[in-house]
Structure 1
Amino acid sequence: MSYETHIRQSGRGMRRLVAAAAGDDSQVAAIDAEPLAPLADVYRQLPIYYITNRMIVGAPGSTVVWPNYSNVMDYELEYGVVIGKTAANIRPENARDYIFGYTIFNDFSARDQQSKEMPGWLGPGKGKSFDGGNVIGPWIVTRDEIPDPYSLKAVVRVNGEVRCESSTAGMLFNFEQMLVHMSMDETISAGEVICSGTIGNGCGLETGIFLNDGDVVELEFEKIGILRNKVVRRAS
């Protein structure tokens, strides 16, 4: 959860999704009309993150199949770092040395399931973890090729239509700071991937436009490439 715009808009988007599912049009309109809530202090105090199932990663070009329990599928515009060296208690002054390279991450999300889980204060659970839903690629670009990873242009396209144009600027905590925090008395292993969280306006939960059966999603990052996947409903 590194981008303020996404954090503030996704909370409202989740409430809107629940109201729309209940058929409460007046509540949807009220949510749309309200100002965004301010950013909670905790997001500036420390990096907030969750850990997902590393064994269910999908490939570039793969077809992502919706889980049976979901009717609302979403994409997320993220990028991340691949860890190059195993260590614990990484120091701020050499944290960048532990970054092997940069890649793109599409955190496909079952939003209707996530909306059920998050009120329990521990999710997202099955809202994020299903076979092939954590897609990484198409390349790992080594650290020396991207001297400034915090100013890259980023774009989302669905079926060729631009859904979001943004950049990697404005992270509340950069990857080096994340590594310092996450490695406190915890070993971070070479090969692990740490992702940025969604860039503002980089998902349907924020824009109100979700995915349909057969959609092709492209996430493009300057200097890294294009991560392309098709999403389909599971055959009955």
Structure 2
Amino acid sequence: MIQAAKGMVSKFGSGSLQVLAAGYERVTGSVLAPMRPRANYYCYPQYYMGNGRSLIADQDELEWPLFSTVLDFELEIGLIISKQIRDCSPEVAQSAIGALCIINDWSARDTQWDDTRRGTFGGVVKAKTFAGSMSAIVVTSDDVLSQFSKLQGRVRVNGEIWCEGQTAGAMYEPWEMVRYAAMGETLYPGDILATGCLPGCSGLELGRFPKKGDLVQLEIDGIGTLANRIKY
């Protein structure tokens, strides 16, 4: 998350903010407070509700959102719920994860930057709800969930590897994410929870973004692949 915050400042921040952030880190060995995860990040899983109707399939073309000039990818893992749960135990939350898939959490970074600073509901509203994509093949939890902390993935753009990442060191286990999402709310079979971006697996963290016409391919060992071309 800190690397992503640095990417935001580098791409969209004013010159004075960039100088301030770099100087503060050089002197203190830490980043500015607004660039750090909020306190609750360390207390329970953070999440937001996406738009399921904007989900597109593997091999579908992605429409570039008209309100954005900076489009980005995020390599994430989808947890597919297989039974109805609510206010459940860790064991039940774990058992409710029926399968895993790959999710690309497409993001309009310029909109996210603007809404984070000036919006009423933060940066994950319009910047995140216009589209997401999901792999065509899912893998049952029996095959891969026990190896969740050892998964590795990568992103290719037009066949070139842009970045690689892994799930090791995740702040929360999959069952913790599911259990928190089911607190006071009912999860139903077919609901999908995305884990958040694998560290290093977004253009924001690279300072490099896809363009119209690019083919963006996501891959996670043991789960599969997901590819979408950005429409001209």
| Native 8 Å contact 1:59 1:136 kept in 2 | yes
What do you get for the CA RMSD once the two structures are aligned? 1.8
Q: CA deviation at 1:16?
A: 2.3
- Write out aligned runs for 1:29-178 (5 A): 31=21, 35=25, 37=31, 39-119=37-117, 120=119, 122-123=121-122, 124-130=124-130, 133-146=131-144, 147-178=146-177
CA distance in 1: counterparts of 2:52 and 2:196, whole angstroms: 16
Q: Aligned AA for 1:80?
A: G
Seen in structure 2, the aligned counterparts of structure 1 residues 66 and 32 have a Cα distance that, compared at 3 Å, is farther
CA distance in 2: counterparts of 1:144 and 1:88, whole angstroms: 22
CA distance in 2: counterparts of 1:45 and 1:180, whole angstroms: 14
Instruction: Please report the TM-score for the alignment, with normalisation by the length of structure 2.
Output: 0.88
| Native 8 Å contact 1:158 1:218 kept in 2 | yes
| Consecutive unaligned residues in structure 1, runs of 5 or more | 1-6
| Native 8 Å contact 1:16 1:31 kept in 2 | no
Q: CA deviation at 1:216?
A: 0.8
Seen in structure 2, the aligned counterparts of structure 1 residues 32 and 139 have a Cα distance that, compared at 3 Å, is farther
Identity value in percent: 33
- The count of corresponding residues between Structure 1 and Structure 2 is 221
| Native 8 Å contact 2:154 2:218 kept in 1 | yes
Deviations 1:146-192 (A, max 9, x none): 13222111111111111111212221111101111111121111100
Say if 2:15 is the partner of 1:15: no
Instruction: Please report the TM-score for the alignment, with normalisation by the length of structure 1.
Output: 0.87
Q: Aligned AA for 1:52?
A: G
| Native 8 Å contact 1:60 1:135 kept in 2 | yes
Seen in structure 2, the aligned counterparts of structure 1 residues 173 and 30 have a Cα distance that, compared at 3 Å, is same
| Native 8 Å contact 1:90 1:179 kept in 2 | no
Q: CA deviation at 1:58?
A: 0.5
Query: Alignment partner of 2:219: what SS?
Result: strand
